[in-house]
A = this chain, B = another copy of it.
Amino acid sequence: MARTGIATVCLSGTLEDRLDAAAAAGFDTVEIFEADLIASPRSPEQIRDHIAGLGLTISLYQPFRDAEGAPPQRFAATLRRLRAKLELMDRLGAGTLLICSSVAPDTIVDNDLAADQLRELAELAAGHGIRIAYEALAWGRHISTWEHSWDLVRRADHPALGLCLDSFHVLSRTDRFAGIADLPGDRIFFVQLADAPRLDMDVLQWSRHHRLFPLQGGLDLAGFTRTVLASGYAGPLSLEVFNDVFRQADPHRTAVDARRSLIALQDAVDTTQPAGSAPAGGAARKAESRLTGIAFAELGVGDDTDTGPQLETLLTALGFTHTGQHRSKPVQLWEQNTARILLNSGVHESAIHAFALESTDPEAAARRAAHLLAAPLPRRRRQSEADLTAIAAPDGTEIFFCRTAPPDDSVPAAETRTKPLGDSAPALETRTAPLGQHGWLDDFLPTGETPAPPTGVTAIDHLSLAQPFDRYDEAALFYRTVLGLIGDEASEFAAPFGLIRTLAIRDPERRVRITLSVPVLRRGDWAPAVRHPQHLTLATDDLPRTASALRSAGVPLLAIPGNYYDDLDARLTLDPPLRTRIRDLGAMYDEDAHGHYLQLFTPVIGGRIFLEIVQRVGGYRGYGFVNDPVRMAAHREQRLHAHSPR
Contact = CB atoms under 8 A, between A and B. Distances in A.
Nearest to A523: B248
Contacts of A199: 201-202, 205
Contact of A522 (B85, B88, B496, B524): B524
Interface in A513-557: 519-527
A449 interface: no
A521 B40 contact: no
A499 B201 contact: no
A499 B248 CA distance: 8
A200 B206 CA distance: 10
A203 to B, nearest CB: 9
A396 interface: no
Contact of A248 (B81, B521, B636): B521
B561 A77 contact: no
B521 A38 contact: no
A43 B563 contact: yes
Contact of A14 (B566, B567, B636): B636
Nearest to A567: B38
The residue among A37, A251, A563 with the most chain B CB atoms within 10 A of its own CB is A563
A634 interface: yes
B637 A14 contact: yes
- Interface range for A: 35 or more
B205 A498 contact: no
Contact of A497 (B13, B521, B630, B632): B13
Contacts of A44: 563
A266 to B, nearest CB: 28
Interface string A342-379: 00000000000000000000000000000000000000
Report how many copies the assembly holds. 2
Contacts of A205: 199-201
Interface string A3-25: 00000010011100000000000
Given A77-B573, A200-B205, A248 B524 contact: yes
Interface string A72-94: 00000100110011001000000
B248 A519 contact: yes
Contacts of A84: 566, 569-570
A559 interface: yes
A35 to B, nearest CB: 6
Nearest to A563: B38
Contact of A35 (B38, B494, B520, B559): B494
A498 B13 contact: no
A628 to B, nearest CB: 10
A511 interface: no
Contacts of A494: 9, 35, 247
A526 B250 contact: yes
Interface string A127-166: 0000000000000000000000000000000000000000
Given A12-B498, A494-B247, A561 B38 contact: yes
B637 A248 contact: no
A562 B85 CA distance: 14
Contact of A40 (B40, B244, B524, B633): B633
13 contacts: A12-B498, A39-B632, A39-B634, A84-B569, A200-B201, A200-B205, A244-B498, A244-B521, A247-B494, A249-B524, A250-B525, A251-B526, A470-B524
